[in-house]
Amino acid sequence: MKFIGGTRLRERWNAGRYGGWIRLSVAGALAAMTVTRAGVGLAAGEAPSFPDVRPGDWYYPAVSDLANRGIVHGSTDGRFHPEASVTRAEFTAMAIQAFGYHYTVLQGAQPKQVFSSQSDAIAYASQFDHAFVRDNQTGAVVWNNYPSSDQSQLQRDSTYSHFSDVPYGAWYWPVVEGAWAANVVHGVGGGQFAPDAQIERQDMAALLINALRLSGVDPGKDVLQPFGDAGQLSTYAVVPVAMAVKVGVVSGDDKRLLHPKDPASRADAAAMIDKALQIPPDQLQAWQTRTIQQLQAVPQQVKLSLGQTQKIVALALRQDGEAIPVSVDWQVEGNVGTIQGGELQAKQAGSGTVIGTLTTADGRTLTTKIPVTVDASVPVQVELAVTPSVSLVPGGQAHIQVTLRDPAGQLVPGEVDLNVSVSDPSKGHLDTTKAVVTGGIGDLGTFTAGPQYGPVQVRADIATQGWKGSGQVTLNVVKVQNPVNGKGIWGTWVEWGTSGYDPDRIVQTSKQAGAKYIYLIVRNQPGEGTIRPESKAMLDAIVPRAHAAGIPVIGVVYLVDDPALDSGRMLTVAKYATPTGERVDGLAADIEESPTSESISGTMIPVRQALGPDYPIIAVTYPPHISSAWQRSATYPWSTFGQYFTMISIMDYWHYEDRAYTADEVRNEIYNEAKAAAALTGRPVEVIGQAYRMNTASGKPFATVPTGEEITAAMQAAKDAGASAFSLYRWDTATPEELSAFHNFSW
């Protein structure tokens, strides 16, 4: 069940009024009643009692009956308040609930028909394109055939309001929209409904006659003569009120007065609705069928395989196109199947006809005929399953498996050929268009997500004679958010051969320190687009563990300023799947040479084409060398970086002299470099901070390393400069003091 917009009908507690006397809740009112188009059956149990509704009151039977049916309830003080007035919205809600106008079929925002049965509504709606079925009590869309790409249009259509003063989201919006769609209410003119206005007695009568499908029936000229104030009726109300008198819904007071323009009380409303519900079904249908012009069935033709069923909905249409609830006699000619309760079941191959017959109260016989074709193919249930996930980033892959079951639920034996297709090639492709399934279970191949976002359907159709069926599964190519935010760490355990490599400990300590992402340097085979075994082992061990801990992983590839080689190596890392079917959550290109705009474009264009424009790819560079000792970045094509990369991560290792650094020195360095990188590229910036010991020119390790105070100063400066993230290089060489400062800094 799909809820559009989240609107649910709730109890109406109106300040200043005795709210809550009509309770429209699934758990309350609906559970206490059984609704049909011909009336409402009493629920079991005693009627609720109200201290202000006593035996002997003229309205006692009606209020008790409606309370037992679940249509009216007491207010917050437990009373009914019979003399209180009723608004137009409140009375409309009562009528929709009492007479079963529960489901509206809409095409666009235009109503087609209203049904009491959800299954009938769905069967009727399925003949239209871009149709949906709305629950008139909750406002929920319970079925639709809008394409996935048109969900925004469905949102607009399903929240449409016909009346300018009945806004979507108001408690009465679903019932008033349902009543309008059912031709039960017409408003007060000027596109308004006046939901909070007190309803007049003549308007209650007119609404009920519409709800009973008796509008347009001539009750005779003399029906209103006995009533002394009949001349006070508004012109539009004369015929409906006369019809209400004819069928016993309106009887006037003991002085034979109608009081047509008096505001209706709650007692009046309950009495009038209860009288309408007491009309004998055969008498009501006799009046209703006088206006029927045509008998119609949906669908207009039926094609089934052996054993399949089809719901058939009969509509007795008036001249204005409104449907009348009727009982139709069904029969099947041609011995192709049987029909019961409007459900046709195919039992024998061949052609036949379903015939529906209705005899009206004035002696007319109306028929409708539906051609039926039943083929000899055995229907097969085609089930598609996806691993590891139906949600994919551009370039991501998923494996699709198929299961075939016969009508008894057993696996289909032997070999079955399948044709396989993808609904939108821009969103991905399968590595096969045909498949052979043996023994009911098989593979359909691997789906690779394309550059465009959104849902895409993979469909399998049986191509082997004697079997018939199709199935599909919806995948979703999603726009990935940049996972590099806040605090992160750099892992070089395999790259540098660090001792004590323990994947469980690495992920555990990272999470404890508050790291929100992990960089892994991945080694490629020299000159090849393949990953070295030791790097594969690292990915296989850390990626699943990090994901289980809620930490994304970024694969780092060192660029060698060779576009063909660099793009191939990047895509190899992005597409590599661990044995658990998981991939890295983004790429980082380590740019330490002196690239040109042409070499960066040559590398990144094929990568972006394969992975999509929003796949996270970070450019790891030297800082713009405002005050640092790094020099290679002087000729970097910074604007080109901004064109292709999601973020710029500057390796600002400030501790490049073997001496003590002050916090102010660190702050100035980091702040200025981060500001410059953002200005040069127009991209978010990450600062990669230093947690390792540098070497002197002769290769001797520094005696000094960054202190915890330096780490804190660097992180604060990055944050003050507007950087999106800060990571430590390297995690495996960080001192306890550095780790403590990183852990304690809030980002």
Topology at the third CATH level for domain 394-477: Immunoglobulin-like (2.60.40)
Question: Tens of pLDDT along 454-505?
Answer: 899 999 999 998 888 999 999 998 877 899 999 999 987 665 555 557 899 8
The residue ranking higher by pLDDT, 148 or 246, is 246
Q: What is the pLDDT of residue 460?
A: 97
Mean pLDDT of 69-89: 89
Q: What is the pLDDT of residue 481?
A: 83
544 and 585 in contact (C-beta within 8 Å)?
no
Lowest mean pLDDT among 42-51, 131-140, 178-187, 421-430: 42-51
Mean pLDDT of 230-235: 96
Q: Looking at the DSSP assignment, which residues form a beta bridge with residue 445?
A: 400
* C-alpha distance from residue 42 to each of 32, 35, 36, 466 (Å): 8, 9, 12, 50
CA pair distance 520, 531, nearest whole angstrom: 13
Confidence of residue 528 (pLDDT cuts 50, 70, 90): confident
Confidence of residue 36 (pLDDT cuts 50, 70, 90): very low
Question: Tens of pLDDT along 594-605?
Answer: 899 999 999 999
- For the cut 90, the answer to whether the pLDDT of residue 164 exceeds it is yes
CA pair distance 458, 467, nearest whole angstrom: 20
Pairing of strands 391-392, 470-477: parallel
Q: Looking at the DSSP assignment, which residues form a beta bridge with residue 461?
A: 419, 470
337 and 350 in contact (C-beta within 8 Å)?
no
Q: What is the pLDDT of residue 685?
A: 96
| CATH no., domain 291-375 | 2.60.40.10
Mean pLDDT of 156-171: 95
CA pair distance 484, 581, nearest whole angstrom: 22
Mean pLDDT of 30-50: 39
73 and 49 in contact (C-beta within 8 Å)?
no
Backbone angles phi, psi at 575, to 5 degrees: -95, -5
Pairing of strands 378-379, 467-468: parallel
Q: What is the pLDDT of residue 554?
A: 97
First to last CA, the chain: 40
| CB crowding 146-177: b at 16 or more within 10 Å, else e | beeeeeeebeebbbebbbebbeeebbbbbbbb
Question: Tens of pLDDT along 335-389?
Answer: 899 999 899 999 998 999 999 999 988 889 999 999 999 988 888 999 999 988 8
DSSP output for 418-453:
EEEEES-GGGEEES-SEEEEETTEEEEEEEEE-SS-
**Which amino acid appears at position 475 of this protein?**
L
Mean pLDDT of 680-697: 92
Q: What is the pLDDT of residue 306?
A: 82
Mean pLDDT of 683-697: 92
CA pair distance 405, 435, nearest whole angstrom: 16
CA pair distance 92, 208, nearest whole angstrom: 9
Q: What is the pLDDT of residue 202?
A: 97
Q: What percent of the chain stands above pLDDT 90?
A: 67
Please list, in sequence order, all residues whose beta carbon lies within 8 angstroms of the beta carbon of residue 326, skipping any fewer than 6 positions away: 285, 288, 289, 292, 314, 316, 358
245 and 251 in contact (C-beta within 8 Å)?
yes
Q: Which of 187, 181, 159, 6 is nearest to 102 (CA)?
A: 181
The residue ranking higher by pLDDT, 498 or 743, is 743
> Across all residues in the chain, what is the average pLDDT?
87
Range(s) of the chain covered by CATH 3.20.20.80: 486-744
Q: Which of 495, 583, 589, 500 is nearest to 547 (CA)?
A: 583
3-state secondary structure of 42: coil
Q: What is the pLDDT of residue 30?
A: 26
- For the cut 80, the answer to whether the pLDDT of residue 46 exceeds it is no
CA pair distance 363, 100, nearest whole angstrom: 28
Mean pLDDT of 78-92: 94
- For the cut 70, the answer to whether the pLDDT of residue 313 exceeds it is yes
Range(s) of the chain covered by CATH 2.60.40.10: 291-375, 394-477
| CATH no., domain 486-744 | 3.20.20.80
Question: Tens of pLDDT along 398-414?
Answer: 899 999 998 889 999 99
CA pair distance 303, 526, nearest whole angstrom: 61
- For the cut 80, the answer to whether the pLDDT of residue 24 exceeds it is no
Please list, in sequence order, all residues whose beta carbon lies within 8 angstroms of the beta carbon of residue 179, skipping any fewer than 6 positions away: 92, 95, 96, 101, 136, 185, 207, 211
Mean pLDDT of 61-82: 89
Q: What is the pLDDT of residue 551?
A: 94
CA pair distance 211, 37, nearest whole angstrom: 10
Q: What is the pLDDT of residue 675?
A: 95
